[in-house]
Chain A
């Protein structure tokens, strides 16, 4: 990990608990611990991959960073400013620096707006350019994402999934943000289209020096696009390291299990390798296990794992892991 690179985003002890209300008087009976104390940094210009199985809090992390959910606790420092403290107009103005690309290209575009209105809306509400220049800028943005600018008067339902995702990307880069949360931007697309969209994201990153938080559950795609990769399990971050280090030398037993589940396109090699099989289901985030979150399914869990929560510590330069068993 290069220490020269400037830290763009720093997340400190971020927690997002969604309260559960029950009964006649809507008493608070508990909370879903969707994200439960995670800390990490993102350097300017890099892509941080965020992986983990469904429901582990990946998307919630992305949304809490963008303040689409108000975090229960913690700090989100973006260029030194704590976004959690911002409200109202200050937050609204800061939003142009951070954008998001959504998972579902069908649900993320308003069906009653034309492409020009959708892509031009960020420009309009922030008043960055005069109103008359918006159509021209939208056409330019569509060209940037390899869409025919003549389509700008069309409605979203006339496009395919991949084209819609490009419209979503054009909307996200319209304000020239420095940080984009990509929330599983390719998981809803056909395999043939996935590569195109990923290449587009990489091109745009080079062109505009963008920083991505790339949320995904497809480990091979994350390996392709990310510089560093973070692994989440049940609301906590269990491992964070540079890409090659993580894929070649995973330290956390969960990461090892996750990587051993990635199919290898070679039947001989696939038959030879040792698979780490996890037993049981992911525990409920309403009542997460004491100590280490992963201990209920961990093949090497010990007594200490149920007693205290392992620190997220740097065991090698740039390689963080949260496990008592890793020396």
Chain B
């Protein structure tokens, strides 16, 4: 077959095939132009590194009790009204038992990062699966799964956490990993519903698109339609959701810690997870008037991490939004 003259001309004028940018590469480029997001990203990276190398970075053992060194002020206060002088060995001071506040804040980062990321993974996997099945298959599946999510959605989160923590705290499940495992499970149980609803909504709108119909007309099997056609087009929404969900979980953990429902005190000194920022807030609040520095570290860290995630999430949303495509 010979090409039509007009067509061959079109082809010629289109020029040589240049290196194509994938939609993902374009999104990353847009993200890099957003300074607040890049800063947020580096702050998060910093906290992740701190969490990983907590044992190396902390100047003291976070559990080490030093008698006679109680309530030492941080280094920028020379002497408290009570007559205690700061000690350069303890830059952020010490708590009611003489433990180093800086070391405890550093170890707290570990809990917050893990609590932020690990349940999020579980949440996203379950939520995406449920949302996709409900949205794409529709009908009976949709009804069943969505009524289930409605029930979970309607149950007050905090009440659920309190009931779970109080009733299972002393079981083997509650003691496993100092209670971290139980915390993961209960956070995941409550939070997957939001992802499921969002993914279902996205899938419902994608389902109407002709490329899904085209895939069916070709004879693509349902699992492949889900993994190759629906998932890649939902990924943007899911990534943004992760960025906003992680700080939500960090705050939830801090609230639970503050309520005394978080981690159990570790059984031995080489435990991975010693304390959390929420737990530190609880310890600090009793001395909020006389020794406010105990609160200061964890409070600033929580605020910083949450803010960083929010900036990154905003940037990701703008970068991945297809309507933003092509804008400078």
Contact = CB atoms under 8 A, between A and B. Distances in A.
Contacts of B16: 150
A95 B219 CA distance: 6
Nearest to B143: A26
Contact of A196 (B7, B14, B224): B7
Contact of B219 (A93, A110, A111, A155): A93
Interface string B214-229: 1111111100100011
Contact of B218 (A121, A146, A153, A200): A121
Interface stretch (A40-48, A96-104, A286-294): A96-104
A207 B130 CA distance: 46
A111 B233 contact: yes
B218 A99 contact: yes
A247 interface: no
Contacts of A92: 219, 221
Interface stretch (B17-25, B73-81, B85-93): B17-25
Contacts of A95: 217-219
A153 B22 CA distance: 10
B11 interface: yes
Contacts of A326: none
Interface residues of B, number: 33
B214 A108 contact: yes
Given A148-B11, A150-B17, A110 B211 contact: yes
Contact of B220 (A107, A111, A121, A200): A121
A113 B218 contact: no
B4 interface: yes
Interface in B213-268: 213-221, 224, 228-229, 232-233
B150 to A, nearest CB: 14
A199 B7 CA distance: 11
Given A146-B4, A148-B11, A155-B22, A107 B211 contact: yes
A122 B17 contact: no
A196 B322 CA distance: 30
Contacts of A144: 1
B325 interface: yes
Interface in A60-91: 63, 66, 68
A151 interface: yes
A63 B210 CA distance: 11
A110 B218 contact: no
B8 A68 contact: no
Name the residue in A95, A96, A110 with the highest tally of chain B Cβ atoms < 10 Å from its Cβ: A110
Contact of B224 (A68, A125, A175): A125
A68 B216 contact: yes
Contact of B211 (A66, A93, A96, A108): A108
A126 interface: yes
B3 interface: yes
Contact of A153 (B17, B215, B233): B17
Given A107-B211, A146-B8, A154 B20 contact: yes
A102 B3 contact: no
B85 to A, nearest CB: 63
B328 interface: no
A274 interface: no
Nearest to A166: B7
Given A107-B209, A112-B23, A157-B325, A146 B11 contact: yes
B6 interface: yes
A199 B1 CA distance: 12
A68 B217 contact: yes
Interface in A124-167: 125-126, 144, 146-148, 150-151, 153-155, 157-158, 162-163
A207 B3 CA distance: 14
Contacts of A17: none
Nearest to B14: A148
Contacts of A107: 209-211
Interface in A158-200: 158, 162-163, 168, 171, 175, 196, 199-200
Contact of A112 (B8, B11, B220, B233): B233
B17 A147 contact: no
A235 to B, nearest CB: 21
A147 B210 contact: no
B166 to A, nearest CB: 37
Contacts of A93: 219
A196 B4 contact: yes
B213 A121 contact: no
Nearest to B234: A112
Interface string A111-123: 1111000000110
Name the residue in A68, A102, A112, A148 with the highest tally of chain B Cβ atoms < 10 Å from its Cβ: A112
A108 B210 contact: yes
A210 to B, nearest CB: 13
A215 interface: no
A78 to B, nearest CB: 14
Given A112-B233, A121-B218, 17 more contacts: A96-B219, A99-B217, A102-B210, A107-B209, A108-B214, A110-B211, A110-B233, A122-B218, A125-B220, A125-B224, A144-B1, A146-B11, A148-B14, A148-B17, A163-B10, A171-B218, A196-B4
Interface of B: 1, 3-4, 6-8, 10-11, 14, 16-17, 20, 22-23, 209-211, 213-221, 224, 228-229, 232-233, 322, 325
14 contacts: A93-B219, A99-B217, A107-B209, A107-B211, A110-B233, A111-B233, A112-B233, A121-B220, A121-B228, A125-B224, A146-B3, A155-B20, A157-B325, A200-B7
In order of increasing CB-CB distance, the 7 nearest A-B pairs are A150-B17, A95-B219, A112-B232, A108-B210, A146-B7, A107-B210, A154-B20
